[in-house]
Each structure stands twice: as structure tokens, then as C-alpha cells.
Structure 1
């Protein structure tokens, strides 16, 4: 079973149920991955999602990645990728798969630039981050990047979010 814990600070609009968004997007990502069986597993696999501000993400990015600027989402896996497959056979227990941290300002700016709702962009970032927690890596080569992109598209389609990689034609 997948357990999603989440927290959102004041910059994230209180009219949106960010916990429900995180849960829906995270479950969709897991289901589309090679670890979909975790959804029905006796193992309690937890994912923590924090919706926060740019300054907190910048501090974490600087401390853990030596990049002194905010980014849209940070993923902190707690399980080595080679240890994920054996978890599918677990007959109980609990494990923390990892933490995701989303930066409001970066997300809002990117959503505005793409002319999409911040909720759709945040759902994409949660899906993307969960896939990182599950060992997927778009920076290890074109083939891996394409495979991860396909999983993101499938997960987002399952929750009614448009393909973030679709190229829209410009009318002239």
C-alpha cells in the first residue's frame, strides 16, 4: 500500500486540496511504473510531499545539490533503486520511499509560461518526482529520458491532465 503524506504552506492556494492532488498524482505514477504492485502490497510504502516556497527549495538545493537557486521539484529517494524490486515481495512492514519538495514560485512561473493551471503543473511535478523516487532517471541518457516521459504521459492521462510534452502548433 502506498501512503502519501503532504504539507502545504501559505503560498499554495488554500482553495486547492493539495493533499488530494499529491495522492492522486503519486498513485498514478506508481501504477504506471514497474512497481505498480506496491499499490496493493502489504508493505506500507510512504511518500512525503511538501508544497513550500522558493527559498526553502533553494536552501535544500544548495545544501544537497550545490546549486544555489530554486528549482521546481526536488526528489530525495530513501531506497536504493536495486532494493526496490525486492519490496514487491514484502509481506508487511513499512518503508519511506522518499520526499518530494515543490517550490511555489517556480511552479507558478512555469505554469504561467506554459499557460496551464498550477494544479496541472504541480501534478506533473509530483508524477515526475515519484518516478525519481522509484529509480527512474531522465539524466542518464536519451532512452531513459524517453521512457520516463512516456510514464509521465500515461500517469497524467490517467488523472485527466494533458500531456505536458505535447507540442502545440502556432497559428500564423
Structure 2
């Protein structure tokens, strides 16, 4: 099955350790991971940020005063998905360590997760929706060569 087209803007904020995160996220990998999660063509901006910017955005847009792993700002879903994905590098790094995953593996998961949110998937509406989204994420990540992100 051919993959959908993606116009990607990949941005890195200024934060301690940004170079290490940039090294894990070459454009071709980020593009591949996102394209595998797309049901249609897309224009997506991915921004990797530090804790301060992540917390500020989460507080401003979700009214939660802490940095979270990924924020998805979806603007349109048809005919082309347009969205911004903001990933907080320190949170991603901490979670990867806690879950005994490589940084690359966790970034791949969070990019797939955010891309699904940009297309209307939601794990907070019901347990059934959460299970369906997790199963789809797992299938996509396994197709990409990664382990089940929810297996402990």
C-alpha cells in the first residue's frame, strides 16, 4: 500500500541537550514514522522543545501547568491533515528511561501517537477508544520495526 504524502517542517527549540535529540531525529526518520500513521496527505510541523516551552504551551492551551510528552494542534483533517506536533524533549527522554526504551523508539511512538490525534483519534473519550488507538499504534510501530509500546 503506498504511503500518503507529507509536507514536513521539523523544528528544534533552544534547550539543553538539543543536539542529542536532533541526532536521534533525522528528517527522513521523522517523515517515515509520520507517513506510516497517515490515512491521507498531510502538512505537519513537528517542534521539539524544552521543558519551559512545553509547560507554557500545555498551560496556555490545555490549562495544565506541566510539560507533557506531546501536544497536538490539529487544524484540518480533510482533504489534507494540517497540524502541529510539539514534543517536549526532557519528558520524552525521562519516559524512555522509565519504560526501558531507546530515545528513538519513544520518539517514534509519540510521533505516531500525535499524528493519530491530528486525524481525530482520541484515547480520552472511552476505554474502547483507548484500546482501539493503542492497538493501531502498536500495529503501525511493529510495521516500522519497533516493539509494542504498551508491552511492559
Where in structure 1 are there 5+ consecutive unaligned residues?
Answer: 40-44, 88-94, 168-172
**Other-structure match for 1:163:** 148
Higher relative contact order (CA 8 A, sep 6+): 1
CA distance in 1, matches of 2:68, 2:54: 7
**Other-structure match for 2:116:** 131
**Other-structure match for 1:70:** 67
**Is this contact kept in 2: 1:8–1:18, CA < 8 A?**
no
Give the TM-score of the pair, scaled to structure 2: 0.87
Give CA-to-partner distance per residue, 1:70-125, whole Å, 9 cap, x none: 0000000002x5xx3xx2xxxxxxx5610000001111110001111111101100
Q: Which has the larger radius of gyration?
A: 1
Give the TM-score of the pair, scaled to structure 1: 0.78
CA distance in 2, matches of 1:48, 1:77: 10
**Is this contact kept in 1: 2:6–2:31, CA < 8 A?**
no
1:17/1:72 Cα in 2 relative to 1: closer, same or farther (>3 Å)? closer
**Other-structure match for 1:22:** 30
**Is this contact kept in 1: 2:123–2:129, CA < 8 A?**
yes
Answer yes or no: is 1:7 the counterpart of 2:4: no
Q: Which runs of 4+ in 1 moved over 4 A?
A: none
2:11 aligned counterpart, secondary structure = strand
**Other-structure match for 1:107:** 92
**Is this contact kept in 2: 1:29–1:155, CA < 8 A?**
yes
Where in structure 2 are there 5+ consecutive unaligned residues?
Answer: none
Q: How many pairs align?
A: 144
**Other-structure match for 2:105:** 120
CA distance in 1, matches of 2:129, 2:115: 15
Give CA-to-partner distance per residue, 1:20-51, whole Å, 9 cap, x none: 23211111111xxxx2xx25xxxxx2011111
**Is this contact kept in 2: 1:7–1:19, CA < 8 A?**
no
**Other-structure match for 1:51:** 48
Deviation at 1:62, TM superposition (A): 0.5
